[in-house]
């Protein structure tokens, strides 16, 4: 296997808050992503998954403290300065498909004008070659050419998503990060958006999808990382995770069981506050399998951070 496109090693992000509070949003997260592969990072809102995406792109606010290392293309990103990230990484090495495309597009400019600017900036194409390059950029994200002269507010949610995706693809970045790409879309549109994203992985890109939508994750991902309270608690092959043998971490199992097509029963309680995490396993107060051993923090070993993991194969 070739070297991974993206290597995240022991990434931690803390925020210093007023009153001396510290919020540990991401803790000791490690994973790799290969070309042609899609990794879905799933978890509930506030579990740290969006902070993680911002950290990879160098888009954290000033009160963030970052530890660890992120490598792509022989370059370490966490230590890189903003200038390098803006000129050489964002858009060129890593394309971001944002959470709310409408908010990411400039409201007062047509899709064509925004695409043209990005094409000029990232590919250097200008003059007579520009119209064709813009048309090609739109086509790559299946954005209809007869909608290019529309303004963002004249687009449906699905088309706004495609416009944002087209922008993210212009620089032909080998790595794409999609942050909650399906929020607010109806199910048919979710399926279509997810299938279109999947195509970019099949074209050889690495695709990191951050989502709380488990059905979308099941549809798109090769691998799935489940985050809870800032940590990855299970990292598994998506097929086995969503199908058979199923999840092994009690939190992951609870999350899947909560789906309306499964038991539709919630996990009791709520996730812990990130400024007051327990010493041991952060899931212990909600976990039916917790024991005294869980007062010691379980490390992620062989894709699992739990002292009493489920053994679905022998259940």
Partner 1 sequence: MLELRAVTAGYDRRTPVLRDVDLTVADGEAVGLLGPSGCGKSTLARVAALLHRPDAGEVRLAGTPVPGFRHRAPRALRTTVGVVFQQPRQAADPRLTLRDLIAEPLRATGRAAEVADRLAELAPTVGLGGDLLTRGPHEVSDGQLQRACVARALVLRPRLLICDEMTAMLDASTTAALVGVVEDYRAATGAALLAVGHDRVLLDRWCDRVTHLASGSSARA
Q: Where along the sequence are the contacts to ligand SF4 (CB under 6 A)?
A: 250, 281, 283-284, 287, 289-290, 294, 298, 306-308
Tell me the closest approach of the beta carbon of residue 63 to ligand SF4, in angstroms: 30
What pairs with residue 67 in β-bridges? 12
- What is the rounded distance in angstroms from the CA atom of residue 57 to the CA atom of residue 82? 10
- Name which of 110 and 182 has its Cβ closer to partner 1: 182
HSE of 149 in the Cβ direction (CA atoms, 13 Å)? Answer: 2
Q: 81, 188, 299, 311: which one contacts partner 1 (CB under 8 A)? A: 188
Contacts (Cβ under 8 Å, ≥6 apart) of 247? 226, 234, 236, 241, 253, 255, 256, 310, 312
- What is the rounded distance in angstroms from the CA atom of residue 56 to the CA atom of residue 248? 28
Tell me the closest approach of the beta carbon of residue 160 to partner 1, in angstroms: 11
**Strand stretches in the chain, DSSP E:** 6-16, 22-33, 38-42, 64-72, 75-76, 94-97, 175-179, 206-211, 223-228, 231-237
Q: 2, 264, 279, 315: which one contacts partner 1 (CB under 8 A)? A: 264
- Name which of 45 and 244 has its Cβ closer to partner 1: 45
Binding of partner 1 by 259 (CB under 8 A):
yes
Q: Which stretch binds partner 1 (CB under 8 A): 3-11, 32-40, 41-49, 72-80?
A: 41-49
Choose from partner 1, ligand SF4, none: what does 43 bind? Cβ within 5-8 Å by kind. partner 1
Binding of partner 1 by 224 (CB under 8 A):
no
Choose from ligand SF4, partner 1, none: what does 289 bind? Cβ within 5-8 Å by kind. ligand SF4
- Name which of 112 and 307 has its Cβ closer to ligand SF4: 307
- Name which of 168 and 300 has its Cβ closer to ligand SF4: 300
Which DSSP letter does residue 27 get? E
**Which parts of 141-186 fold into alpha helices (H)?**
157-169
Annotate 265-300 with DSSP letters as a single string: -PPSS-PPPTTS--SS-TTGGG-TT--GGGGSPPP-
Q: Contact positions toward partner 1, by CB under 8 A?
A: 43-46, 156-158, 183-189, 212, 214, 254-256, 258-261, 264-267, 269-271
């Amino acid at each position: 296997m070739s070297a991974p496109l993206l290597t995240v090693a022991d990434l931690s992000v803390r925020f210093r808050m007023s009153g001396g509070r510290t919020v540990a949003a991401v803790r000791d997260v490690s994973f790799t992503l290969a070309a042609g592969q899609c990794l879905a990072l799933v978890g509930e809102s506030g579990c740290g998954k969006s902070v993680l995406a911002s950290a990879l792109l160098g888009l954290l606010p000033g009160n963030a403290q970052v530890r660890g290392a992120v490598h792509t293309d022989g370059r370490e990103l966490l230590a890189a300065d903003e200038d390098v990230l803006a000129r050489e990484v964002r858009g060129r090495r890593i394309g971001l498909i944002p959470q709310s495309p409408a908010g990411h597009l400039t409201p007062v400019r047509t899709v064509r004008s925004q695409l043209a600017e990005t094409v000029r900036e990232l590919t250097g194409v200008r003059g007579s070659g520009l119209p064709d390059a813009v048309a090609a950029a739109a086509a790559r994200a299946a954005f209809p050419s007869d909608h290019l002269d529309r303004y963002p507010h004249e687009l449906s949610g699905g088309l706004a998503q495609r416009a944002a995706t087209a922008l993210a693809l212009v620089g032909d970045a080998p790595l794409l990060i999609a942050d909650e790409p399906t929020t607010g879309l109806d199910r048919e549109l979710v399926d279509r958006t997810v299938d279109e994203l999947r195509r970019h992985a099949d074209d050889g890109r690495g695709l990191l999808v951050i989502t709380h939508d488990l059905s979308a994750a099941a549809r798109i991902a090769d691998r799935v990382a489940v985050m809870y309270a800032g940590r990855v608690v299970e990292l598994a092959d998506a097929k086995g995770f969503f199908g058979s043998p199923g999840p092994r971490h009690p939190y992951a199992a609870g999350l899947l069981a909560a789906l309306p097509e499964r038991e539709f029963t919630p996990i009791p309680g709520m996730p812990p506050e990130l400024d007051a995490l327990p010493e041991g396993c952060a899931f212990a107060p909600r976990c039916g399998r917790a024991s005294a051993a869980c007062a010691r923090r379980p490390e992620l070993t062989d894709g699992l951070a739990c002292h009493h993991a489920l053994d679905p194969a022998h259940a």
